[in-house]
Amino acid sequence: MKTGKNSLDMLNGSLLDKILIFALPFAASSILQQVFNSADVAVVGRFAGSTSLAAVGNNAPIINLIINIFVGMSLGANVLIASLIGQDRKDEIKSAVQTVVSVAAISGILLAAAGPAISRPILEKIGTPPEVLELASLYLRIYFLGMPAVMFYNFGSAVLRSKGDSKRPLYSLAVAGILNVLLNLVFVVVFHLGVAGVAVSTVTANYVSALLVFRFLLNESEPFRPDIRKLRINQRQFLKICRIGIPAGLQGMVFCFSNICIQGGINTFGYNAMAGSAAALNFEYFSYFVVSAFTQAATTFTSQNFGARKFSRCKKIYRLSMMCSILIAGFMCFVFVFFRNSLVRLYTTDSDVLPFALTRIVYVESLEFLTSTYEITAGALRGMGCSMLPAVLTLAGSCFIRLVWLATVFKKFPEFTTIMSVYPVSWVITGTAVITAYVIIRKRKFHGAE
């Protein structure tokens, strides 16, 4: 099936170059999206103080927890459309695009309405210190007003990426990212709006990126162009999106829930630890986004080839995606750890905050590439239509392990290094479990097909 000049032929020819062409712009998009948040952290950390830095950083796991289910749904949309492309079912692609855009609109409105009301209660539940609570709540309430844009960007990008177009989502984020940085400087440095300023900047940038992606979709050729006058949800396709997307979203939510519990442990060390953790977390995001990009490549390429019953290519896609993810993310981890003393000062120069940031970089960022073991594998499984099992294994191998660690090891040894050590431990356990499941399921699904 021909899908246009901005597409990749995932079903024929070489794979390594196409995986890189797909994944690297996707990684750049995710990193650029994180630059939105990094700009927030850097600006408030340097110009508004450690309390504001802690307020902004404290919200990251909460935001991720709430929106992850819908981001998972966008992944389900990607798998559905990519599979239909592999099967050359053009009429159903059109209907799927209409469904995806409708879901984006509804989910965005729901989050924008509910988010502000639940912001403060959640912050109180995780033990946010009183000196940080008001600012953190303000940031979160404003941030949620941008949820329609976040949903439109993620779902719209899912449609584009299902046919191999990972470049135009990057272009839209490049424009929005530059705008976000400029607005941060104006609102915080010039007008001294602090946390409110960076929140408004991020929301504005999110709407710009969403509008650009939506414009790209409206200029697409059939069957990928949505008709805003005929938007409707196809129940059968929506259920397929949910079958893949909800477990994927739950998997992300599981991580975020465990991270919120960990954030509660970090909060017990005070706002200097919160600020230091928030600063160091940015480097983990950058490394993880490389892993996430190759996970998306594994999912999309596998979806198309599995739909076309090209199982040998599915195996090769998994191997290449895993190799690229470990090598590139591993190199980034090395750079961040080696230059940590200089890099962390981009976010804070507070002598009370720096030790916590440097500790987190050494204990967590140095092994961030291990997330490849379960993320790439789960992506390949989702591309084969199996999404629930990776979510269940993630629940058992990551969330459960982290909660047990907090209740036992951290309780006995209540030190900052102890709580940081839980990350690599859970990665090893989860990766082993998901890879084992992949080997077993692949043998069953590919049996006798080659």
Exposed, middle or buried, 341 (CB in 10 Å: 0-12/13-18/19+)?
exposed
Region 55-81 average pLDDT = 74
How far apart CA 409 and CA 418 sit, in angstroms, is 7
How far apart CA 347 and CA 429 sit, in angstroms, is 32
Work out the pLDDT band at 339, boundaries 50, 70, 90: very high
Exposed, middle or buried, 247 (CB in 10 Å: 0-12/13-18/19+)?
buried
Q: Give the angle 150-153-155 at the CA atoms, nearest 5°.
A: 105
Tokens standing for 2?
Answer: 């021909």
Higher pLDDT, 126 or 323: 323
Count of beta carbons in the 10 Å neighbourhood of residue 352: 14
Count of beta carbons in the 10 Å neighbourhood of residue 388: 16
- The per-residue pLDDT for 450 is 47
DSSP summary character for residue 146: T
Backbone angles phi, psi at 377, to 5 degrees: -65, -45
Region 419-424 average pLDDT = 91
Q: Which CA distances in Å does 299 have to 6, 153, 273?
A: 19, 19, 37
Give the pTM: 0.74
DSSP summary character for residue 15: S
Written as one string, the DSSP assignment of 92-154 is HHHHHHHHHHHHHHHHHHHHHHHHHHHHHHHHHHTT--HHHHHHHHHHHHHHHTTHHHHHHHH
How far apart CA 153 and CA 336 sit, in angstroms, is 29
Q: What confidence tens digit (pLDDT) does each residue in 263-293 have?
A: 788 888 887 888 888 888 888 888 988 998 8
pLDDT, averaged across the chain: 84
Higher pLDDT, 297 or 2: 297
H-only helix segments in 308-348 = 311-338, 340-343
Tell me which residue has tokens 């993810």: 325
DSSP summary character for residue 220: P
- The per-residue pLDDT for 61 is 65
Q: Which of 77-81, 113-117, 128-132, 415-419 has the highest mean pLDDT?
A: 415-419
- The per-residue pLDDT for 338 is 94
Tokens standing for 133?
Answer: 């609570």
Work out the pLDDT band at 435, boundaries 50, 70, 90: very high
Q: What confidence tens digit (pLDDT) does each residue in 108-136 have?
A: 898 899 888 887 887 887 677 777 788 88
How far apart CA 243 and CA 304 sit, in angstroms, is 17
Tokens standing for 60?
Answer: 């990251």
- The per-residue pLDDT for 418 is 93
How far apart CA 291 and CA 367 sit, in angstroms, is 12
Rg (CA), the chain: 21
At 357, the amino acid letter reads A
Straight-line distance from the first to the last Cα atom of the chain, in angstroms, rounded to the nearest whole number: 23
User: SS3 of 127, please?
Assistant: coil
> What CA dihedral angle connects 225, 227, 228 and 229, to 10 degrees?
170
Q: Give the angle 46-51-53 at the CA atoms, nearest 5°.
A: 50
Q: What confidence tens digit (pLDDT) does each residue in 161-195 have?
A: 888 887 888 888 888 888 888 888 888 778 877 78
Q: Closest Cα partner for 196 from 116, 140, 275, 133?
A: 140
Name the percent of the chain lying above pLDDT 90.
25
Least confident piece of the model among 37-41, 135-139, 365-369: 37-41
Higher pLDDT, 239 or 5: 239
Contact indicator for 313, 355 with CB cutoff of 8 Å: no
